[in-house]
Structures are given as C-alpha cells and as structure tokens.
Amino acid sequence: EDNRDCENIESERSSGNEDHSQEDLLTVNRKSRYKRRKKLLSMRTSLASEWIIPIEELKIKDVIGIGHFGRVHRGYWHGDVAIKFVNVSRLTEEAIESFKLEVATFRKTRHDNLVLFMGACMKPPQLAIITSLCRGPSLASLIYEQKDRFTFSKIVSFAREICQGMSYLHSRDIIHKDLKSGNIFYEKCRIVITDFGVSSLVDYNPTPQERNLDCWVIVRDYAVYFAPEIIKKMDLNLVSFGLSAFTKASDVFAFGTVLYEMMVGHWPFSELPVESILWMVGSGKQPPQDEIRLPVELKNILNTCWEYDPEKRIAFTNLLKALNKLPERYLRRSPSCPSNSLT
Ligand code: ADP
Ligand code: MG
C-alpha cells in the first residue's frame, strides 16, 4: 500500500504543469489530498523506523545466558538493555517480513508487568530484540536456585501481577506461547514478564545434548508448560511442532504450572522423565496435590487453570477476579512493598 501511495504521489508531482489560469476546485482538492497522503506516508515511515535500532548504535556486552531460541547479551543503548539474538535458520525475505510483523505487535505493549520492548535490529543475519534489562531474579531462579519457599500472600501477589500482564496481552490478542517461571522476573517489588510472542519468531534450537539423541527430546523446563491439546498435536519424533497450537487457553494452562511451582517449590511430575510427563498431561492426569498445605481456594484456582478441556479453562481476567476474592484474612501486606501483599 505504501508503494502505491508513493507512486500516486510521484504521478501527482509530475503532473504539476497545469495551466494556473485553469486552477479550479478540482486542483485545490488534489493538492490537499496530496498533502494528506504525504503526511500519512511520513507518519508510517517514522512509525516503522521508530523501533529499528541500527546495530552500530548498540554496545554488546557479556552473554547473560543461552536459551532455546537464541542467546541473550547484556548491552548498552541509552542505558542498560538486554539484547536477544534470535535463531532464524533460513533468512528468507518472508522470514524477515514475518519477524517485522510480529515485532510490530510488541511495540504496542505498555504495561507495568511486561518487559519494556525498546526495539529490534533488522539487519540480516543479525536479528535481535532489545528490551529493558531485568535486574531482579527470575521466579525460576528464586524457586530452583535460591530455594525460596513462598508464603501464601506472596504467591497470591505474584499470581495477581502475572495475571494483570497476561490479561493485558490477551486483550491485545498477543499469545505468549512461552510463559514459564524462567520468563517471569521479580524486580523492585514488581513482576515483569518477558519473551511474549518471541517463540513464534524463531526456530527451536535443540541443545547439543538433545541433538545427540536419536529422537528429539524436549527439555523439562519447556515441556511442563504444554497444555494437553498441544501435546496431542505434537509428533514426538519430529524436530518441530506447530506453534499454531498455542492459544490464550494454553497460556492459562502454562500459568497453572507456574502457580503450582510457586505453591510446591518444584515442577509438576518432577520425579518422572519428560516423555512420561507428556504422556501424563496429554491423557489428562495431574500431579497429586496432597502435599500442598495451602488454602483450598488457591487449589481450586489452580484446577481452573489446568482444566483438560481448553474451552472450560478460565480466562486471565476472571482469574484476577478469583484471586482478588481470596479471603483478606489470608493476606498480609508488606511494609517494604505496600503495593504487594507480601509477608
Ligand atoms: P530462557 O527463557 O529459556 O531461560 P532466554 O534466551 O530467554 O532463555 O534467556 C537466556 C538467559 O538470559 C536467562 O538466564 C534469562 O534469565 C536471561 N534473560 C533473558 N531476558 C532477560 C532480560 N530482559 N533481562 C535480564 N535477563 C534476561
Ligand atoms: Mg526467556
């Protein structure tokens, strides 16, 4: 459409040798249409270039970590940033266009519980996403490295903030597709969700260890978040699976897993190998909940997230309502983080 506008403007420009004595209403209209189009074009161009960051402007520092979708560096661009270089196996025009389209949706996200999207590097072979740097630990590192045990009010407070960020994303029709404790950070008394939508941009990259195996094995910290309907669509002997299987309801299922991790301090079915977990979840089994020493209302909330039928699964806006209805007597506010109900 942009190209068409350009052509029109050019042709209108070149046809500017009319006889001025005949300047009439029609010409005036054409002039104002031309001006309007020119303004629209420049607005579009500035919108598109607003979030493209030239790679030369970035200072790339040390690697923070390597995930399945690429590697993340600490960086500097008008302040500290995180730079996520993504793996795209075939950098076709089409792949770059779809990257641009997906990234365009990130810049529309403005929410306190979502990582700040700052821009992207679009110069192949360097495709990178630049976001604010999260300084706090991820929930995964709190649970599995620092071995924190969360109080009831801390779980509820974290859950609320995750639901706020997620209901915002879903209201804009953005599906996270990779909601997990490793993509949720806790910094300065607030929860920050990262990596929303990123998995649809890039290729899943098996680790060297996974590549040595005869068939493709999904790592535990990815597999435990899959909803049953996703598992049922997977071909376990293949190297990839359709990301179209992910829906808002599958994000809610993944949130259930995060909630469970916060409640018990480990992954569901942590004693089982990954293939068995996939089989269990795919056939509607849930991990036993008798070890959970928390109010039954929270267990009920967990079960509404883990409904086998995606149609019956609760939506994030209703989850928020359910969390807000939990009896006040369970919750105590923290003096250091008054906005959070932490103890
Ligand atoms: P994964 O999500 O599977 O851990 P990633 O590629 O997203 O893999 O991240 C790799 C590492 O970089 C992880 O240790 C993660 O905590 C860290 N990381 C990712 N994004 C950010 C960010 N915005 N701020 C700080 N650290 C980040
Ligand atoms: Mg991540």
The candidate with the shortest Cα–Cα distance to 66, out of 83, 89, 52, is 83
The ipTM assigned to this model is 0.98
Tens digit of each residue's pLDDT (9 = 90 or more) over 287-330: 999 889 899 999 999 999 999 999 999 999 999 999 999 877 66
Q: Which of 80, 178, 195, 251 is catalytic?
A: 178
- How far does the centroid of ligand 2 lie from the alpha carbon of residue 199, in Å? 10
Q: Which ligand is the nearest neighbour of the Cα of 132? A: 1
- Mean pLDDT of the 196-209 span: 64
Q: Is the pLDDT of residue 337 over 70?
A: no
Tens digit of each residue's pLDDT (9 = 90 or more) over 55-97: 899 999 999 998 877 799 999 999 999 999 887 666 677 777 7
Q: Which ligand is the nearest neighbour of the Cα of 219? A: 1
Q: Which residues pair with 253 in a beta bridge?
A: none
Residue with the larger pLDDT of the pair 338 and 305: 305
- How far does the centroid of ligand 2 lie from the alpha carbon of residue 182, in Å? 6
Q: Is the pLDDT of residue 22 over 70?
A: no
Among protein residues, the one with the nearest Cα to ligand 1's atom 19 is 72
Which among 60, 61, 69, 72 is the best mutation to test ligand 1's pocket, defined by most ligand atoms within 8 Å of the CB? 72
Six token digits for residue 322: 């359910």
DSSP string, 70-120: EEEEEEESSSEEEEEEE--SS--HHHHHHHHHHHHHHTT---TTBPPEEEE
Per-residue model confidence (pLDDT) at position 14: 44
Ligand 1 lining (C-beta closer than 6 Å): 64-65, 67-70, 72, 82, 115, 131, 133-134, 138, 182-183, 194-195
Assign 121 to helix, strand or coil. strand
Active site residue 178: yes
Residue with the larger pLDDT of the pair 240 and 197: 197
Contacts of 306 (CB under 8 A, 6+ apart): 253, 256, 286, 313
Confidence at 236, pLDDT banded by 50, 70, 90: low
Phi, psi (5° rounding) for residue 69? -110, 5
User: How wide is the angle at C-alpha 206 spanned by C-alphas 200 and 208, nearest 5°?
Assistant: 155
CA 71 to ligand 1: nearest atom: 6
Q: Which residues pair with 192 in a beta bridge?
A: 185
User: How wide is the angle at C-alpha 174 spanned by C-alphas 171 and 176, nearest 5°?
Assistant: 120
**Are 301 and 148 within 8 A, CB to CB?**
no
- CA–CA separation, 338 vs 343, rounded Å? 10
Confidence at 272, pLDDT banded by 50, 70, 90: very high
- Mean pLDDT of the 131-144 span: 96
pLDDT above 90 as % of the chain? 53
The reply, when asked if residue 299 is annotated as ligand binding, is no
CA torsion, ordered 260, 261, 264, 268, to nearest 10 deg: 70
Confidence at 16, pLDDT banded by 50, 70, 90: very low
The candidate with the shortest Cα–Cα distance to 36, out of 14, 12, 17, 15, is 12
DSSP string, 225-262: T--HHHHHT--TTSS---GGG--HHHHHHHHHHHHHHH
- How far does the centroid of ligand 2 lie from the alpha carbon of residue 193, in Å? 9
- How far does the centroid of ligand 1 lie from the alpha carbon of residue 38, in Å? 42
Per-residue model confidence (pLDDT) at position 243: 66
Q: Is the pLDDT of residue 266 over 90?
A: yes
Q: Per mean pLDDT, which range of 12-26, 98-112, 249-263 is the poorest?
A: 12-26
